[in-house]
Amino acid sequence: MSQLTALILAAGYGSRISDVTDDPKSLLQINGKSLMDWHFEAWKEVGIRNVVVVTGYKRDVLEAYLEKYKMDFDIHYAVNEDYRVKGNTYSFLYGLEKTQGDFLLFDADLIYDTKILKSFIEDITPNQILVGESSIDDIECAKTMIDEDGFVRMTIDKRAVSEEERKRFTFAGEAIGILKFSEAFRDDMYNACKSFLADEKNISKNWEHVMNEFLLNHDMSIHQAFSDRWVEIDNKEDLEKAKRLFK
Q: What is the tally of structural domains in the chain?
A: 1
Listed in sequence order, the DSSP H helices in the chain are 35-46, 59-65, 88-97, 114-122, 163-168, 183-197, 207-215, 236-245
| Prediction pTM value | 0.95
CATH of the domain at 69: 3.90.550.10
What is the domain range of residue 209?
A: 2-245
Strands 33-34 and 128-132: unpaired
Counting every residue, how long is the chain? 247
| pLDDT tens digits, one per residue of 176-214 | 999 999 999 999 999 999 999 999 999 998 898 999 999
| pLDDT tens digits, one per residue of 54-109 | 999 999 999 999 999 999 999 999 999 999 999 999 999 999 999 999 999 999 99
Per-residue pLDDT, 39: 99
